[in-house]
Chain A
Amino acid sequence: MTTQTVLAAAGGVSGGEQVTFWILAPLALIGAIGMVLARNAVHSALWLVLTMLCLGVFYVLQAGPFIGMVQIIVYTGAIMMLFLFVLMLVGRDASDSLIETLRGQRVAAIVLALGFAGLVGTGLYRALDGVTAAGLDQPNAEGNVQGIARLLFTKYVFAFELTSALLITAAVGAMVLAHVERRKEDRMDQVATMKARFRPGNYPGPKPGPGVFATSSSVATPARLPDGRLTDRSIPEILPVRELTAEETTLKGTDK
């Protein structure tokens, strides 16, 4: 344990700890505000990473080096990385629109957040008022990691195992929901595929592209079959076939 953590465990606030706090606390706050205000989802995630890193350092300063490092490895390193993974797949230009879908939700959110913070703050203040700080001397006597391990595997072993069982259940559930396994009977072999292809009513050739042998190259123009009929299969289903009105076909006067 470094001298700094020893000092923190003894209950005193050393100069180094104060300096670190006053440097990192504004950064953590800026990160939190930036996370809420950032338009781009990836930027928002990065602001959150900054806040989490600052919190990790705070834990280390307050004689909890193990929990601080785990905060950085697990939350910043793994969980936020998975967040980023998903956000990147969304696309980098996807920013949130600022149109309020629920009327007045922003004001309501601010009021509720302030109320919640006030409740928690006053609750904590009243609960901790008059309590003398015990310090971390006793729990950290044999070392921080050993102390946590002892508690985790004796007093809280049931809660710990229960939490891990819950997490594993969630992971297995997500996999079951996402996993698509085709049964062996459902898999069509080559013979079945060919029979289905040449069944009466199915056109065995490749689908004609839109605009092939048509009067226009628009995707909305259906292709013509060899016998002159139009084929609806050549245009996407979301595009309804429609006749242009005389108004639409006249020149718009932009060619001057």
Chain B
Amino acid sequence: MTVLLAQDPTLADFGKDPWWLVLGKIVFAFAFGLLATLLGVWFERRVVGRMAVRPGPNQVGPFGLLQTLADGLKMAFKEDILPKSADKVVYFFAPVISVVCAVTALSVIPFGPMVSIFGHRTPLQVTDVSVAVLVLLACSSLAVYGIVLGGWASGSTYPLLGGLRSSAQMISYEVAMGLSIVAVFMTAGTMSTSGIVAAQANGTQLSIGGFEFPAPGWYAILLLPSFIIFFIATVGETNRAPFDLPEAESELVAGFMTEYSSLKFALFMLSEYVAMVTMSAVTTTLFLGGWRAPAPITTIWAGANSGWWPMLWFFGKVLILVFVFVWLRGTLPRLRYDQFMRFGWKVLLPINLVWILVLAGLRSIEDWQSRDRLLATAIGAGVLLLITLLWPSRKATPKPSVQEQVNSRPHGSFPLPPMDLQVPPSPRTKRVVAEREPANIAAGSDSREV
């Protein structure tokens, strides 16, 4: 096990690379973002197509793989329209800010463990700082500027509404997102992304009934509520369906990018897909064990977590999360704006706060003696039980009968017919029975009425 742990980079391993290696890593991360967009658009269109029982793009290149490239080239040659009422400088910078923020976040994502590149032992990560997760948060909070400024600088109404929606949405969901990360910080004891991946390596050994078996180390299982809330907030943060209110095409044409065309529009689209991939990578790093191989693989194959193989696991996990993004888009209808805000502030946030409180309580009684720990847990459970029992029931008062409703009507209301009114059956509802004239056949003794 010590051999495998030596693969884990620590903060001391960063900042020692020669310049060409740093440059190579940066170019790799950037190319990863661009390639992920190129393939991501194709992937999304194919998957959504398959979900809608149609083939999706399949003409350009094998399996339609080059469709996005063709679309991108077409977009670059389109006319770049600058609206007359636009604020020119801000209008130009808005998509640039979006892309820069989305790509920068990739720099603190660990793609793999320590590897050897031309004789240099270096971690597969551009850089890591002691506050790397905060860098990610900062990038996502600055990415709002791109959308908001794009909406404002366009100088027309729909983009402005889209921009305003986006700013409110991103600020609200960032709170839920930050609180989910707090649970990860508390459990991992560090804010560096490589440290969080290392902390998910091994779960504690549980012994139940004499059997020793390892508890799962992934925070997706240990901190399940945080994981779920984080992923929902991620969808809100990247403006993806069902939370794509800033660009709701049924209400706002195309939201903040209504006026954008040509390369600037392409930049917005690029930033959206890069953000989706980046957020999947962040979720993988924080909750799904990062580049570590999933549990059954490591028991069979000890070398799965060393060398270049971890990149495979990493990309696999990211791909699965991107698929979930696409799946959500293919399945769920868009939320209404007030429902969306209520969901963020009144559901995600309180659940998250209570969960963090419980987690902090569990963490603080961890090193107590077993008797005290049992007592503390029992008191907590008792309080919870009492709250559940004494919680005011929300059962509505029984619905008043028709007579009571009639009696409670104010004086001078519209006159009602008496309650015991017998409505005579309408003459038109009388059953019509087909009658046929008796067949009158003159001749024949066997003539009879039919």
Question: Is B111 part of the binding interface, using a Cβ–Cβ cutoff of 8 Å?
Answer: no
Residues of A within 8 A of B131 (CB): 65-66, 69, 144-145
What is the chain B residue whose CB lies nearest that of A80? B145
- CB atoms of A81 and B152 under 8 A apart: no
Residues of A within 8 A of B164 (CB): 85, 88-89
- CB atoms of B130 and A145 under 8 A apart: yes
Binds A, one of B73-81, B132-140, B317-325: B132-140
- CB atoms of B167 and A195 under 8 A apart: no
The answer, among A65, A72, A88, for a CB contact under 8 Å with B163, is A88
Q: How far is the CA of A65 from the CA of B152 in the complex (A)?
A: 32
Residues of B124-176 contacting chain A, CB below 8 A: 127, 129-131, 134-135, 137-138, 141-142, 144-145, 148-149, 152, 155, 160, 163-164, 167-168, 170-171, 174
- CB atoms of A77 and B130 under 8 A apart: no
* Given contacts A1-B129, A46-B90, A81-B144, A69 and B134 within 8 Å (CB-CB): yes
- CB atoms of A1 and B130 under 8 A apart: yes
Question: Is A4 part of the binding interface, using a Cβ–Cβ cutoff of 8 Å?
Answer: yes
The proximity string for B residues 10-53 relative to A, scoring 1 for CB distances below 8 Å and 0 otherwise, is 01001110000000000000000000000000000000000000
Question: Is B412 part of the binding interface, using a Cβ–Cβ cutoff of 8 Å?
Answer: yes
Question: Is A225 part of the binding interface, using a Cβ–Cβ cutoff of 8 Å?
Answer: no
- CB atoms of B11 and A77 under 8 A apart: no
Count of A-B residue pairs with CB < 8 Å: 89
- CB atoms of B15 and A2 under 8 A apart: yes
Q: How far is the CA of A101 from the CA of B6 in the complex (A)?
A: 70
What is the chain A residue whose CB lies nearest that of B138? A72
Residues of B within 8 A of A76 (CB): 138, 141-142
Residues of B within 8 A of A4 (CB): 15
Question: Is B191 part of the binding interface, using a Cβ–Cβ cutoff of 8 Å?
Answer: yes
* Given contacts A73-B137, A85-B168, A145 and B191 within 8 Å (CB-CB): yes
- CB atoms of A195 and B148 under 8 A apart: no
What is the chain A residue whose CB lies nearest that of B87? A92
Q: How far is the CA of A66 from the CA of B412 in the complex (A)?
A: 69
Q: How far is the CB of B105 from chain A (nearest CB, A)?
A: 13
What is the chain A residue whose CB lies nearest that of B411? A191
Residues of A within 8 A of B149 (CB): 46
- CB atoms of B148 and A84 under 8 A apart: yes
Q: How far is the CA of A92 from the CA of B148 in the complex (A)?
A: 13
Q: How far is the CB of A146 from chain B (nearest CB, A)?
A: 9
What is the chain B residue whose CB lies nearest that of A85? B167
Q: How far is the CA of A62 from the CA of B215 in the complex (A)?
A: 41
The answer, among B11, B14, B134, B409, for a CB contact under 8 Å with A66, is B134
- CB atoms of B174 and A78 under 8 A apart: yes
The answer, among B144, B168, B413, for a CB contact under 8 Å with A191, is B413
Q: How far is the CA of A92 from the CA of B87 in the complex (A)?
A: 9
Question: Is B410 part of the binding interface, using a Cβ–Cβ cutoff of 8 Å?
Answer: yes
Residues of B169-208 contacting chain A, CB below 8 A: 170-171, 174, 191
The answer, among B130, B135, B155, for a CB contact under 8 Å with A92, is B155
The proximity string for A residues 55-70 relative to B, scoring 1 for CB distances below 8 Å and 0 otherwise, is 0000000000110011
Residues of B within 8 A of A66 (CB): 130-131, 134
- CB atoms of B134 and A73 under 8 A apart: yes
Residues of B within 8 A of A88 (CB): 148, 152, 160, 163-164
The proximity string for A residues 126-163 relative to B, scoring 1 for CB distances below 8 Å and 0 otherwise, is 00000000000000000111000000000000000000
What is the chain B residue whose CB lies nearest that of A6? B15
Residues of B within 8 A of A72 (CB): 138, 141-142
Q: How far is the CB of A182 from chain B (nearest CB, A)?
A: 18
Q: How far is the CA of A8 from the CA of B142 in the complex (A)?
A: 27
Q: How far is the CB of B97 from chain A (nearest CB, A)?
A: 10
Q: How far is the CB of B344 from chain A (nearest CB, A)?
A: 15
Q: How far is the CA of A189 from the CA of B410 in the complex (A)?
A: 10
Residues of B within 8 A of A81 (CB): 141, 144-145, 148, 167, 170-171
Q: How far is the CA of A40 from the CA of B167 in the complex (A)?
A: 20
Residues of B within 8 A of A195 (CB): 412
Residues of A within 8 A of B87 (CB): 40, 42, 92
- CB atoms of B167 and A84 under 8 A apart: yes
Q: How far is the CB of B257 from chain A (nearest CB, A)?
A: 16
Residues of A within 8 A of B152 (CB): 42, 84, 88, 92
Question: Is A82 part of the binding interface, using a Cβ–Cβ cutoff of 8 Å?
Answer: yes
Residues of B within 8 A of A70 (CB): 134
* Given contacts A1-B11, A3-B15, A77-B174, A69 and B410 within 8 Å (CB-CB): no
Q: How far is the CA of A145 from the CA of B129 in the complex (A)?
A: 11
Q: How far is the CA of A185 from the CA of B142 in the complex (A)?
A: 47
Q: How far is the CA of A76 from the CA of B152 in the complex (A)?
A: 18
- CB atoms of A2 and B14 under 8 A apart: yes
* Given contacts A66-B134, A145-B130, A77 and B412 within 8 Å (CB-CB): no
Question: Is A35 part of the binding interface, using a Cβ–Cβ cutoff of 8 Å?
Answer: no
The proximity string for B residues 400-438 relative to A, scoring 1 for CB distances below 8 Å and 0 otherwise, is 000000000110110000000000000000000000000
Q: How far is the CB of B360 from chain A (nearest CB, A)?
A: 12
Question: Is A49 part of the binding interface, using a Cβ–Cβ cutoff of 8 Å?
Answer: yes
- CB atoms of B141 and A191 under 8 A apart: no
Q: How far is the CB of A71 from chain B (nearest CB, A)?
A: 9
What is the chain A residue whose CB lies nearest that of B135? A69
Give the interface centre of A3, A88, A89, A144 by most chain B CB atoms within 10 Å.
A88
Residues of A186-218 contacting chain B, CB below 8 A: 189, 191-192, 195
> Which A residues form the contact surface with B (CB < 8 A)?
1-5, 40, 42-43, 46, 49, 65-66, 69-70, 72-73, 76-78, 81-82, 84-85, 88-89, 92, 143-145, 189, 191-192, 195
16 residue pairs A–B, Cβ–Cβ below 8 Å? A1-B11, A2-B15, A2-B127, A2-B129, A65-B131, A69-B131, A76-B138, A76-B142, A77-B142, A81-B141, A89-B164, A189-B410, A191-B412, A191-B413, A192-B410, A195-B412
**Which A-B residue pairs are the 5 nearest by beta carbons?**
A77-B141, A69-B134, A72-B138, A3-B15, A2-B15
Given contacts A145-B191, A191-B412, 4 further A-B contacts (CB under 8 A): A1-B11, A70-B134, A81-B167, A195-B412
> Which B residues form the contact surface with A (CB < 8 A)?
11, 14-16, 87, 90, 127, 129-131, 134-135, 137-138, 141-142, 144-145, 148-149, 152, 155, 160, 163-164, 167-168, 170-171, 174, 191, 409-410, 412-413
